[in-house]
Each structure stands twice: as C-alpha cells, then as structure tokens.
Amino acid sequence: MGFREEVDRIAPRLRRFARALVPGDFDARPETADALVQETVLRAVRSEKLIDPASLAHWLFATLIDIHLTSLKRPAFVRPGKPERVPQSPKARERNPAIDPVGALGDALEALAPDDRVAFLLVCLESFSYDDAAEIVRAPRPVVVQRLVRARNQMAGGFDASLLAVDRAGRHPHLRLVK
C-alpha cells in the first residue's frame, strides 16, 4: 500500500478524532475539524519522504494535535471566520444527562483541559495504548496516565451515578445492543 493510500485509510479516524477534540458550537465543529484534518494531510504529503511509514498514524495524530493546540493559542489560525455563537436555550443549559447522554458527553468533553481531552480521546476513542499515546503527544507515559485519570474522573463526575452503574453481570442496564 502506498503512502497516499495509507493516509486515506487513516483519514476517517483523524476526522472522528478532530471532531471530538474541537470545542465550540456543534454546528461549527465539523468545519473546524475538517480544516484541521486537511492541514494535517497537506503537511503529511509535503513531508512524505521524511515520515517513516511504520509510524505514519502516530505522525498524523501528533501533527493534528500540534495544529489544534496552536489554533487554541491563535484562534484565527484554523478558524478564520468563526460564526457568532448563538445563545443557548435554557433547556440546553440545563441538559439532563439521563435524558440527553450524548449532549452531556459532548459538554463534559468540552469542559476538559485540552491536554486531558487529547489523552482521553487518544486512549478511549482511538484505542491507542498508553505508550502509543505518550509517543503521539511527546510526553512521558506517567504524564499521559495522569492526564487520563484526571479526564476520566472529571468525566465521571459530570454524569448521574445511575448512568454509570452496572448490574451483577457487568452490563450497563440503560444500554441495549442494536444490531
């Protein structure tokens, strides 16, 4: 498989990761996430000869994270025409996780510090090992583990305990399998 085919294979994962990583309005998020992925892929194509094919996924995720963290310091870098934020309705401000767990999950993710969100998403969403996540963010493994613990604790604190409860068989009674 060639370099560009491998980038194309990884691109959907990058897009999913970017959409979860980017804070802000739900409607503006896909555009910002797509801009991050596009910039990441462009940098990969420009650096094709310098990237070890065995570590391409790590390189792509690390580059996307770097671009994102840079954009947080200079918002105009990735989000040149950020639309005005529409005021939230009282209903959205008082979101009940028992009624809208997906919206509550997004709110909880957005409340995480950027470094904690990165660690959480790399391990929990993208299923990278702790060592791989540490390599991607260029931090020692214990630092990544600490960020992950902080993120998990903060995420768990934002939900009703009944949503996190498991029955005797180790299943979540509020979830069901859909085929």
11 with 69, same domain: the answer is yes
Residues 46 and 72 in one domain: yes
Residue ending a domain, among 49, 80, 111, is 80
Q: Which two tokens stand for residue 144?
A: 């990544």
Number of domains in the chain: 2
* Judgement on whether residues 118 and 69 belong to the same structural domain of the protein: no
pLDDT of the residue at 8: 93
Angstrom CA distances, 45 to 48, 59, 147, stand at: 5, 12, 31
Task: Report the pLDDT averaged over residues 158-169.
Answer: 57
For residue 70, give every residue at least 6 positions away whose Cβ sits within 8 Å of its Cβ, in sequence order, or none: 77
**Contact criterion met (CB below 8 Å) for 126 and 49:** no
Q: What is the pLDDT of residue 167?
A: 59
> Which of 53, 80, 107 delimits the end of a domain?
80
Claim to verify: residue 76 and residue 112 sit in the same structural domain: no
More confident residue, 73 or 27: 73
List the domain range (segments joined by +) for residue 38: 1-80
Q: The tokens of 87 are what?
A: 């005021």
The pLDDT, as a whole number, for residue 32 is 86
CA distance 100 to 73: 31
Tokens encoding 49: 């000869």
Residue 143 lies inside a defined structural domain of this protein: yes
**Is 172 contained in some domain?**
no
Is residue 76 domain-shared with residue 102, that is, in the same domain? Answer: no
Residue 77 has pLDDT above 60, yes or no: no
Q: Which of 7-21, 61-75, 147-161, 164-178 has the highest mean pLDDT?
A: 7-21
Q: Is residue 173 part of a domain?
A: no
- Whether 92 is covered by a domain: the verdict is no
Q: How far apart are the first and last CA of the chain?
A: 32
Distance of alpha carbon 29 from alpha carbon 91, whole angstroms: 21
| Same-domain check for residues 120 and 55 | no
For residues 76-87, give the mean pLDDT.
Answer: 43
Residue 10 falls in which region: left (phi positive, over 0), alpha (psi -120 to 50) or beta? alpha
pLDDT > 80? residue 94: no
Given 51, 80, 109, the domain boundary residue is 80
pTM of the shown model: 0.69
